[in-house]
Amino acid sequence: CLLRHCGGFPLSNFLARAAGTLGQAAFADIDDAVLDAFQKGVTDIPDAVAREALRLPAGRGGMGLRSAEDSAPLAFIGAVVAARALRHHLVTDACAERLDAVPDPRVEAALAAPEIANAPAVHALAVDLIHTNPPAEGDGRAVKQQRELQGRRDQFLTDSVLERASPELRTRMLSGSTKHASAWLCPLAGAEDPLWIDAAIFVTLVRQRYACPLQPDYSDCQLCGKRGVCDPLGSHT
């Protein structure tokens, strides 16, 4: 399921650009299956806030398990903005006026979706692009607006997770957001036969990233030899 998500998320994004909020139920099922696969196939993350963090980009302390449901309204608005800028090539001016006179309910549904409506910076940009100042062909704002919307949404989600995270989780996420802090998620660059981190070490790193216990109780340090100084999170006390 995780492998399919890597290839399937771009497909769900493509579908969302056409279906918008109409596909939310199906996208939610995909998201649930991905999280379930991670919990069962990689490691169980017991903290609910930490599980939310998994959906953030790696550069924000997440694991990149992007939510198809969360991204769908943004993808649809991005597609509408790009299509409107080219509409004069497809229909007459009179036809365009008639289209504008009858607002598309799918556009209004996307603007009203919580993924947009509940995030002020996202909503402000979406309303500006759709109603206040729609970009025309040749305007740089007419392209890649889904990326801009997604960036604002990512910031909103990151702030929300950090606000509710435990001090330990917050510290580790902020550390994982720094430059090159997530390089271990990729194989060693430049190798003809790329080297991956051993599975057991990978799971340990994931659990450390999200402040999950590595052991049930305190243990002896294998480096300095002191007894009972390593806490359940793997920190030397």
Return the pLDDT at 190.
61
In angstroms, the CA 166 to CA 73 distance is 30
pLDDT(195) > 80? no
pLDDT(1) > 70? no
DSSP 70-115: HHHHHHHHHHHHHHHHTGGGTS-HHHHHHHHHS--HHHHHHHHSHH
pLDDT tens profile 52-104: 999 999 999 999 999 999 999 999 999 999 998 988 888 898 988 888 888 88
The pTM score is: 0.87
Structural contact between residues 233 and 211, judged by C-beta atoms closer than 8 angstroms: yes
pLDDT tens profile 129-149: 999 999 988 888 888 899 999
- CA proximity to 214, closest of 232, 230, 197, 229: 232
CA angle 63, 153, 48 (to 5 degrees): 45
Q: What distance, in Å, lies between the first and last C-alpha atoms of the chain?
A: 39
pLDDT(220) > 80? yes
Return the pLDDT at 183.
84
Structure tokens at 222: 């294998």
pLDDT tens profile 10-57: 888 999 999 989 999 999 998 999 999 999 989 999 999 999 999 999
In angstroms, the CA 175 to CA 169 distance is 10
